Amino acid sequence: MSPNQAPSLAVQDPAGERAGRDAEPAVRLRALRKAFGPVTAVDGVDLDIAQGEFFSMLGPSGSGKTTVLRMIAGFELPTSGTVELAGRDVSTLAPFQRDVNTVFQDYALFPHMNVLANVEYGLRVKRVPRAQRRERALEALRTVRLEDFAGRKPSQLSGGQRQRVALARALVNRPRVLLLDEPLGALDLKLRQAMQVELKQIQREVGITFVFVTHDQDEALTMSDRIAVFNNGAIEQVGSPVEVYERPASAFVAGFVGTSNLLSGPAAEQVIGRRGIYSIRPEKIRIDADLAVPAQAGETSATGAVTSVVYAGATVRYEVSLDAGGQLSVVRPNEGPAADALRLDGSRVRLVWRDEHSFRVAAGS
């Protein structure tokens, strides 16, 4: 059976070819650099993305993550370095010569074609016979639950529906790698959360490697198998969501993924007992109004004064000014009476956390 005739969207290749490819990562970037005139957008990126992985590139705008994605797609050619897809060097190939498809931030649906024609476009270009391409396009539309909208024009769809058409249009080609450029950025919060779940589910179903660009840390944490955190055109850390969140490699990662809660200088020396920069997640810290209780073994504690209490419904955030200097945020679930939490404002408290929850990070930017 040729790949074109496979009934489902999943990549179905002859076993031999598949085994040969599995040895290679789906995407391999080596010393990738991109300069636009005097500005270096991407500065020496090395990255391996495994077959079938849901991989996120996370970073603030201007950190180079989208440029890396565009170099994988072929819209930008690297200034130096290489892009390999399944072991094949594609660094200088045009987009139409690469076995990847992209879901664009603005969806980029062709306004003069209806939904079905949009989804069929890639197959039509590749001269897939009419009946077969219709069947596959409808199948892809079923995957994104839009089969009833085949005759509509993109302008007659809502944002979320356009997003799903863009996804179907890319998936129908069964690319080796699917690139997603902040695809949920234009959707409102509820829809975005629904689409996160749906995207992850579709990825598991079709088994295609997803490379997902986002600046939203929650999105990256909830959806990804692994995350690369970008800053200033370089990767600060690559790891699973748990690794990146619980053990950020640098102060930048600690601050960008989650809330920055850093202790440094004399404060660190006094509280932790060593020099350096230490990060503690705000929800790992316990608040004790009773200053007399001594810290137990394996725990670190510090005293201070609560300078503000912010009530956020499900959680309450406290800002605590430490006696040793420095400031820590503490986030607690809103479990007791809310009035008790608010009453802590201005009072002296003891902060307690397990030793392993404060960890040293590289200075970074």
Partner 1 sequence: MTTTTTPPTPPTPPAPAPPRRARTLDTASSFLHRTPRLRLGLLLSAPMLWLGLAYLGALAALFVTAFWHTNTFTGEIVREWTLDNFVTLFTNDVYRTITVRTIGIAALVTLVDAVLAFPMAFAMAKFCSPRAQRILVIAIMTPLWASYLVKAYSWRIMLSGNGVVDWLLAPFGVDSPGYGLTATVLTLAYLWLPYMILPIYAGLERLPDSLVDASGDLGAPPWRTFRSVVLPLTFPAIVAGSIFTFSLSLGDYISVRIVGGANQMLGNVVYDNIGAANNLPFAATVATVPVVIMLGYLAVVRRTGALDNL
Of the residues 8, 46, 110, 307, which one makes contact with partner 1 according to CB under 8 A:
110
Amino acid at 105: Q
Query: Is residue 38 part of the contact set for partner 1 (CB under 8 A)?
Result: no
Sheet order of strands, 358-361 included:
262-263, 277-280, 358-361
96: Cβ–Cβ under 8 A, 6 or more apart, which residues?
125
Of the residues 16, 61, 112, 292, which one makes contact with partner 1 according to CB under 8 A:
112
Q: What Å distances lie between residue 61 and 42, 54, 66, CA to CA?
A: 13, 21, 9
Sign of CA dihedral 221, 222, 228, 233: negative
For residue 22, give the H/E element and its range.
helix 15-22
Of the residues 54, 55, 121, 252, which one makes contact with partner 1 according to CB under 8 A:
121
Of the residues 12, 24, 44, 75, which one makes contact with partner 1 according to CB under 8 A:
75
- Residues 173-192 interacting with partner 1 (rule: CB under 8 A): 173
Q: Least Å distance between CB 34 and partner 1?
A: 16
CA neighbours closer than 13 Å in the CB half-sphere of residue 361: 28
Of the residues 59, 64, 78, 122, which one makes contact with partner 1 according to CB under 8 A:
122
Nearer to partner 1, 123 or 349 (CB): 123
Q: Least Å distance between CB 32 and partner 1?
A: 19
- Residues 140-179 interacting with partner 1 (rule: CB under 8 A): 169-170, 173
Nearer to partner 1, 119 or 254 (CB): 119
Asked if 8 and 52 count as a contact pair (C-beta separation under 8 A), the reply is no
Binding site for partner 1 (CB under 8 A): 73-75, 94-96, 100-102, 104-106, 108-112, 121-122, 125-126, 169-170, 173
